[in-house]
Amino acid sequence: MDGQAGAAGQADEPPAQRLIAGVIRGLMRATMGPALRVGRPIEQRRRREARLTRLLRIPPGVEFRSAVCGTIPCESVAVRGAAPAGRAVLYLHGGGYCQGSPATHRIITGHLALRSAARVVAADYRLAPERPFPAAVEDAVAAYRGLLAEGFAPSATVFAGDSAGAGLAVAAALSLRRDGLPQPAALVLFSPWVDLTLGALGPPPPGEFMITRPWLEECARFYLAGHPAEDPLASPIGADLHDLPPTLIQVGTDELLLTDSRRLHAALKAAGVEAMLQEFPRRWHVFQLNAGLLADANRALATAGEFVRSRASVVSAGGQ
């Protein structure tokens, strides 16, 4: 990987994939729309999202176990029957800092475990509005400390996340740098939300069907709870990004947060960080959740797994 920005995905999509993509769009619009509806009580939205989790196409051959990473409840994801992994991926789920859980993102964490030859640990970090900023950042750092205490070296550990979780991964890396703690080996970011000010957010592209500006505004308000959105641990796009780990960013062109991905990639490059941006034409917010059905999702996660393997050195781990 050369770290240059560029497009990914097929210019001429096969008819079967066009059909699959259209069906997925329709189903997600009908199912996820109510779960992300502005003004609906947050607990009601979380319950609906949890019910939808039962419909996920979980990859076979992967085990999901409850665990504790440091002091943080987590879900440990590993390939069934495989030897203990020598590298780890700390996964931070999306959901606007207000929704989501390790269970809602098992498609991604399961495929990452298969593709990266790593133990994937999905942190069940505290959510707003009950636990606003900086609780999520503190939990991400605590989970990372837990992995180090288990025997995973920083050079064998990668931060990954989607949407708000991807922004949280960058914020956690910044927090580590501020405190003089070792950085992980790399960052893998799917559709990162890195600017809670929403100041540079443009109009939604014609293909956007999942997230809206009002939903982002509501989530930012819940998470910040009056704290300035300009804080670099809340909006990492405004931070000095020097000395952050090599970073892979993946984003669809049919999503509202495309600008965040492009701005983050440019800012990382300007700070001297090795960074690669992959844009997938006609794909939606965190399309990787459709792995197993969508060819672009499979390709994206295969690339992410390769990136993890190439950046995280294998060392002896403390166990599964």
Name the residues annotated as catalytic. 163, 255, 285
Strands 186-190 and 157-162: parallel
User: How far is residue 231 CA from its own chain's centroid?
Assistant: 20
d(CA 162, CA 148): 22
Contact between 299 and 8 (Cβ < 8 Å): yes
With CA atoms as reference, report the closest residue to 111 among 252, 277, 306: 306
* Surface-to-core class of residue 80, CB atoms within 10 Å of its CB (0-12 exposed, 13-18 middle, 19+ buried): exposed
- Which residues, at least 6 apart from 252, have a Cβ–Cβ distance to it below 8 Å? 191, 258, 279, 280, 281, 282, 283, 284, 285, 287
Tokens at 216, concatenated: 């982002």
Contact between 301 and 109 (Cβ < 8 Å): no
d(CA 44, CA 98): 12
The type of residue at 45 is R
With CA atoms as reference, report the closest residue to 58 among 120, 115, 106: 106
